Amino acid sequence: MRLSLGISTCPNDTYIYEALVAGLENSPFEWDVHFADVQTLNEMVIRGELDVAKVSAQVFPSVRENYRCLDCGGAIGYGCGPLLLSSRSGAFDPELQTVLPGTNTTAALLFRFWYAHKFGGAPQVRYALFNEVYSSLLDKSSAQGVTIHEHRFTWERDGLHLLQDLGAYWEQETGSPIPLGIAVARSSLSDEVVGNVENEIRRSLSVARARTELVSPFIREMAQISDEKVIEKHIRMFVNDFSENVGKAGKRALMCLWDVSKC
C-alpha cells in the first residue's frame, strides 16, 4: 500500500522516522515522503494532502473530522517547551510585536496561554517560519520571538535573552507534560491500516534506539544546524517514552491543550 508521509527535518523526527523512510523489512507500505517546516505540515494536513503526518498538537481540533491522532511518533515531554526570547533586553514588552513560528503551532498557543495569564487581552504578533524567527532575533529586526527545535540550545551562545520558558509555565499551570507534536493518520484509513502504521513507527524508533551512534549521517544531513552536540541534545530531549506510547499522561496533556485552544 502506498501512503504519503509528512515530517520535519528536525533531529527528533528524522531519528524516529529514518528507518521507516529508508524502508523497513517486510513493510506493508511504500512511502511518498514530504519534508517541511511544521507550520507547512500543519497547513498540508488542514488541506487534507497527507495520509500520515507529524504536526503540531494544537492543530488537531481543526482536522479531527478528517484525521485521527496516533498513539506514537509525536513529541510530548517535560522540560522541552518553546522559549520566549528577546534580542534586546531581559524584560518582555507587551507593547512590542512578538514573532511566532506559525499560526497553528503549539508554540504559538503556549505563548498566547502565557500572555493571557500575565497580561490579558490579545498580544501583538506576526508569524514566520521557525528558522526565520531565530534569524530575525539574531539580526535584531525582531525585538522578541518564540523559538523552537534546535534553537532551544543555542540562544545563550548567540547572545539572546530568555524572557520565559513557555513549556515550564505550561507544566506549572497544568501539571501536565508539554504536548508539542502528534502523529496523525487520515480517518478514511481502516483500523488495520492505522495499526500497521503505528507498528511501523515503533519499529522505526526501535531501529534507531538499537544503533551505536545517536546521530546518523541522514539526521546530520537533514538538520538545520551543524553542531553535533546540539543535534544530540535535541534528540535526547524530544525523543522519549511518549514517542513510543502517548499513554494516559500524554492523552491528558493533549486534552488539556485542546481545551485551551478553544478559548
Band of the pLDDT at 129, cuts 50, 70, 90? confident
Question: Which cell goes with 37?
Answer: 517546516
Q: State whether residue 59 is helix, strand or coil.
A: helix
A 10 A CB-CB count for 256 gives 17
Q: State whether residue 3 is helix, strand or coil.
A: strand
In this prediction, residues 171-188 reach a mean pLDDT of: 96
Band of the pLDDT at 226, cuts 50, 70, 90? confident
In this prediction, residues 32-46 reach a mean pLDDT of: 96
Give Cβ neighbours of residue 58 (< 8 Å, ≥ 6 apart).
104, 105, 106, 108, 109, 257, 258, 261
Is the distance from CB of 55 to CB of 107 less than 8 angstroms?
no
| Strand locations in 87-232 (E) | 98-100, 125-127, 144-147, 161-165, 178-186
How large a percentage of the chain has pLDDT more than 90?
A: 90
Each residue's pLDDT tens digit, 46-90: 999 999 999 999 999 999 999 999 999 999 999 999 999 999 988
Band of the pLDDT at 224, cuts 50, 70, 90? confident
* Alpha carbons within 13 A on the beta-carbon side of 235: 23
| Residue among 149, 151, 161, 234 flagged as catalytic | 149
pLDDT recorded at residue 90? 87
Cα–chain center distance at 155: 18
Q: Which amino acid, 204?
A: S
**Closest listed residue to residue 236, CA positions, set 18, 19, 79:** 79
Is the distance from CB of 107 to CB of 178 less than 8 angstroms?
no
Average per-residue pLDDT for the chain = 95
pLDDT recorded at residue 261? 87
Each residue's pLDDT tens digit, 94-105: 999 999 998 999
Question: Which cell goes with 122?
Answer: 490579545
Burial of 16 (0-12, 13-18, 19+ CB in 10 A): buried
In this prediction, residues 173-182 reach a mean pLDDT of: 96
- Residue 69, beta-bridge partner list: 184
Burial of 25 (0-12, 13-18, 19+ CB in 10 A): exposed
Question: Which cell goes with 255?
Answer: 486534552
Each residue's pLDDT tens digit, 21-32: 999 999 999 999
Please report which helix (H) or strand (E) contains residue 34, including its range. Answer: strand 30-35
- pLDDT of residue 159 exceeding 90, the answer is yes
Cα dihedral 162/263/70/65 (nearest 10): -140
How large a percentage of the chain has pLDDT more than 70?
A: 100
Give me the phi and psi of 167, to 5 degrees please: -70, -40
Question: Is 149 in the active site?
Answer: yes
A 10 A CB-CB count for 195 gives 14
pLDDT recorded at residue 263? 67
